Structure 1
Amino acid sequence: MIELQPKTYINIVKAEAVVRGHKFLTRSRKHSAPVVSTAVELDDFGTPALIVATLEDGTTVRIAHGSTIRVVSNRPKLMKGTALALDDLELIPAEEGTPEAVIVDVARAHPDRPRIQRIAARLSRGLNTKAGSNLQDVRDLAHTLFVDLDDRENALTVCGLITDLPFDGNFGRWKWIQSALALAAYINYDAGNLVAADKLAEALRSPDDADEDPFRAKVNAAVRQRQLNEPNLYDKEIHRAMAAVDRSAERDWRVLRLGALMFLRAHGGSETLEPAELDRRIRNELVAIRALNETH
C-alpha cells in the first residue's frame, strides 16, 4: 500500500512562536533541519532582543524578537490567514525569454512576499492571455509590486506582458488589460517618460472609437464623458470604513479609488478633474494605502 504523505504548508509566525519541530523555509525554497530548542537573548536593558533557534544539524539561527518568519508545517493554519500550501508557492522553471520566465524572475526579487509568490506560482505554470483569470493575475501582480512595494521597474515589466494586447471587443478580458495600461501609463507619467505614457494611454482609449455606427458612437461618447466628469471615487464607502476603524475595508476601497484615478489620468483628466489634480490625488492615495499596509 502506498503511504500518502501529509500535505505541507507554509505558515508565517512570530519569532517567539517558533517551537521544536518547526522547519524554516530558506530563500532557496529548501527546508531547514528541524528546530530542537530555542532560547531568548536580552538586550542591555533586559528586553527580549533575539530568538536563538538550534537546529537538529547543529546550526544556530538568530531571529529578531517580534519579527515574522516562514516555517514549514503539516498544520494548515497556525495563525488566521497566514497558511499557504507549499504547492501554492512553487515556482515552475521556465525557458529564458518567455513571459513565464519574467514572472519567475520578478517573484525571486521578493521571496518574502507570499501574495507575490502565490500569484507568480500560478502564472509560472503557463500564461494564457486568452483567459481572463490569467490577465487578472498579471494585473494584480503588477499592482501589488507598485502599490505595496513601490517596485516600479518590475511593475512595468509585468504590465508589459499584456499591455500590447489589442482590444478585441471582449470587455470582460479588456478590463484587466485596461487596468494594466492605466497603471503603466501613470508610472511613466510620474517618471517623466511622456512619450511612453501617451502611447499606453492611447492604447487604453482604443475601445472609445471601436464602434463604427455614428449614432452609437455619439451616445457612447456622451456616456463616457459623463463618467469621466462624475466618477465614482468611493467617498462614502471610505468614510464609512474609517468611521468603523475597519482598516482592511478602507484599504480595499482606497485601492478601487486609486484604480479609478489612474484610469482618469490615462484619459488626460476630465472637465472636473485636471491632470495635475489627479496626480496629487494619486500620490495621496498611495501614501494612505501604504500606511494602511503597515497596520493591516
Structure 2
Amino acid sequence: MIDSDVDARVQPLAAEALSAGRRLLLPGGERTAEVVDTAVEHDDFGVPAVVVVTLESGETLRIATGSTVQVEPAEEMPLITADEGSPEALVAHVAAIHPESPRVQELAERLTRGVNFKSGSNLQDIRDLALTLYVDLSDPASALRVCDLLTDQPFDGNFGRWNLIEACLALAAHLTSESDPSRAAAYSAALRTADDAETDPLKAKLAAAVRQRQLNEPNLYDREIARASDDPAVEKDWRGLRLSVLLYLRAHGGSETLSPEALDRRIGHELLAIRALGVRLSTSG
C-alpha cells in the first residue's frame, strides 16, 4: 500500500528514460526517492541490459532495460480533458500528461493552434508526437490515440502526405499487435492501400516489382549509424529512422528476406538502443 506521502498520480516511465531529478517509486511501493544519476550497462553482446540508478541517499538500484517504473510527475499541472473530441484537445491532454518533455511541449504548442490534415507539417508533427510518446516516454496508450488522428485518413495519391499517415498506421499496428490482433490487422490493411492504387496493369506490375525489391532490400541506415557511434544525438536520429522502416516492414507483413519474427526482434533491440541513447543524452545535458 502506498503511503500518503507518495503522490497517488504516479505515472509509468521506461526505465531507460529515467533521468536525474525524477522521483522514483521504490520497490515495495511505500516511498519515493529522487534520482541523482543513471547509467546503462551492456551485456556481453553489446546490448543495453541494466539501468543503474543512483538515489539521493547514495543507494543504487539495478533495473532491467525494457522495464517500466513508476515516477511522480515532473511538476504539478492540471490535466486538460478532451471532452470536445477535437484533435487539438487530445494533443493538449497529452501535453498535460507529459510536462517534463520539452519535445512534447514543442510539438503540442504548434498543433494546438489548429490541426489541418492537408498540411504536411501538421501531419509530420502528429507522427513525431506519436513516436516521441512511445519511444522516448514509454506511453503507448497516448501514442496510439495520437496515431488514430491519422489512421482513418484516405490515400489521395500524394505519397509525401501518405508516408506520414503510413508511419502512424505502422506504429498503431505495432502497438495493437498483442492486445488486439484484429485491430492491428485493420491498420496493416489500411497501410497497404497505396499498394493497389495503380489501375494500369503494366504500371501496377512494375510498381509491385519495385515495392518487393524495397521490402527485400530496405535501407536500414547501417553506415550512417556506424559513423554516428561517437555522437549519441545523431545516432539516436538515425536509429529512429531505422525503427520507422522496421515498423513499416512489420506492418506490411515482412518480406522474402525479413520474417515477421526477425522484425519483431529487431524492433525490440532498436527500442532498447534508442532509449539507452536518450538516457545518455539526458544525463550528459
TM-score by length of 2: 0.70
Give the corresponding residue for 1:162. Answer: 150
Query: What does residue range 254-273 of structure 1 map to in structure 2 within 5 Å?
Result: 254-273=239-258
Return the offset for 1:188.
1.0
The answer for unaligned runs of 5 or more in structure 2 is 1-19, 22-55, 59-73
In structure 2, distance between residues paired with 1:232 and 1:202: 23
In structure 1, distance between residues paired with 2:212 and 2:186: 21
Give the corresponding residue for 1:292. Answer: 277
Structure 2 residue identity aligned to 1:293: G
After superposition, what is the alpha-carbon deviation per residue over 1:11-30, rounded to whole angstroms, capped at 9, x for unaligned? xxx99xxxxxxxxxxxxxxx
Match of 1:175 among 142, 153, 163: 163
Match of 1:231 among 208, 218, 224: 218
Of structures 1 and 2, the one with the larger relative CO (CA 8 A, separation 6+) is 2
Query: What does residue range 3-18 of structure 1 map to in structure 2 within 5 Å?
Result: none
The yes-or-no answer on 1:213 pairing with 2:200 is yes
The yes-or-no answer on 1:132 pairing with 2:117 is no
Tell me: CA distance 1:226–1:157, structure 2 relative to 1, closer, same or farther (3 Å).
Answer: same
**In the alignment, is the contact (CA less than 8 A) between 1:143 and 1:155 conserved in 2?**
yes
Residue-pair matches, total: 210
Return the offset for 1:112.
1.2
Give the corresponding residue for 2:104. Answer: 116
After superposition, what is the alpha-carbon deviation per residue over 1:162-206, rounded to whole angstroms, capped at 9, x for unaligned? 1100000011111110111111111111x3421111100111110
In structure 1, distance between residues paired with 2:159 and 2:80: 30
Match of 1:282 among 263, 267, 276: 267
In structure 2, distance between residues paired with 1:115 and 1:247: 17
Tell me: CA distance 1:124–1:214, structure 2 relative to 1, closer, same or farther (3 Å).
Answer: same
Give the corresponding residue for 1:97. Answer: 85
Give the corresponding residue for 2:183. Answer: 196
After superposition, what is the alpha-carbon deviation per residue over 1:100-127, rounded to whole angstroms, capped at 9, x for unaligned? 1111111100011111011111111111
4+ residue runs of structure 1 moved beyond 6 angstroms?
Answer: 91-95
Return the offset for 1:92.
10
The yes-or-no answer on 1:150 pairing with 2:138 is yes
Return the offset for 1:44.
8.8
**In the alignment, is the contact (CA less than 8 A) between 1:145 and 1:152 conserved in 2?**
yes
Q: Secondary structure at the match of 1:158?
A: helix
State the Cα RMSD in Å: 2.2
In structure 1, distance between residues paired with 2:151 and 2:201: 28
Give the corresponding residue for 2:69. Answer: none
Tell me: CA distance 1:134–1:284, structure 2 relative to 1, closer, same or farther (3 Å).
Answer: same
Structure 2 residue identity aligned to 1:219: L
**In the alignment, is the contact (CA less than 8 A) between 2:107 and 2:129 conserved in 1?**
yes
Q: Secondary structure at the match of 1:205?
A: helix
The answer for unaligned runs of 5 or more in structure 1 is 1-13, 16-42, 46-68, 71-90
Identical positions, percent: 58
In structure 2, distance between residues paired with 1:44 and 1:222: 61
In structure 1, distance between residues paired with 2:110 and 2:209: 40
Structure 2 residue identity aligned to 1:153: A
Structure 1 residue identity aligned to 2:273: A
After superposition, what is the alpha-carbon deviation per residue over 1:54-74, rounded to whole angstroms, capped at 9, x for unaligned? xxxxxxxxxxxxxxx99xxxx
Q: Secondary structure at the match of 1:129?
A: coil
**In the alignment, is the contact (CA less than 8 A) between 1:123 and 1:137 conserved in 2?**
yes
In structure 1, distance between residues paired with 2:235 and 2:109: 28
Bigger Cα Rg? 1
Return the offset for 1:252.
0.9
TM-score by length of 1: 0.67
